[in-house]
Amino acid sequence: MTMRVLSFMLIALLSVNACKTTGFKGGTAQTPKPNNSTDITPKPPVVEPPLPLFVECPGAPDRMLVAGLYLLPENTAALPDFKKMTKVKDVCLKQLDVTDRDFKEGFPLIPDLIEWFGLDVNFRVNVPEDGEYKFMLNSDDGSILAIDGKEVINNDGLHPHQEVAGKATLTKGWHDFNVKYYEGPRYRIALELFWQKPGASTREYIPEALFSRPKL
């Protein structure tokens, strides 16, 4: 053998002995664990503020209930004749679903008006079928429901929220609804209108899809 071959053989022998001495048996690549110091803490969901009860009508084409707003003298004990009064302005609502609550938001451009006011609410309803409909009107303070000019429920007077029911036989198609309401002393208000359709076992708010702006 040449000296060069012997040198290679010696180096290989030394390498094998070194592996046996250290107990090396091979290995696999290790993936480093992620550093948790950069984890992002989930943010709480954004809670949208509640929509105002009353808005300016021109900017709210989706609100079909038009309410004339009136100022009332203190100690008003019953609904006045709005036809003999001067209307402050019109405001619009999406639904008569004002549950018993504190009222401190006032009206557009009149934020301090939170008591002694009246609302003359007009809208049309596309009644889906002929039959006898039951209506429930809950309010704090007084309210009156009329359909096509005929009184159906009288819940007038100065009182905490209370519900009164009435019935009306209606034909399929469009009908004119009017709800007169007034708020006496601050702070609680309520104004809810429900119906129970012919043959139904439960009541509901009149669906907004059946509403239309009144012919004023």
Q: How confident is the model at residue 10 (pLDDT cuts 50, 70, 90)?
A: very low
Q: What is the pLDDT of residue 29?
A: 52
Evaluate whether 25 touches 70 at the Cβ level (below 8 Å). Answer: no
* 49-69 residue pLDDT tens: 667 889 999 989 999 999 999
Question: What is the assigned CATH class of domain 65-212?
Answer: mainly beta
The reported pTM is 0.76
Cα separation, 141 vs 183, whole angstroms: 5
List, for residues 131-149, the tens digit of each pLDDT value: 999 999 999 999 999 999 9
How does residue 44 score in pLDDT terms, banded at 50, 70 and 90? confident
Alpha helices in the chain (DSSP H): 3-22
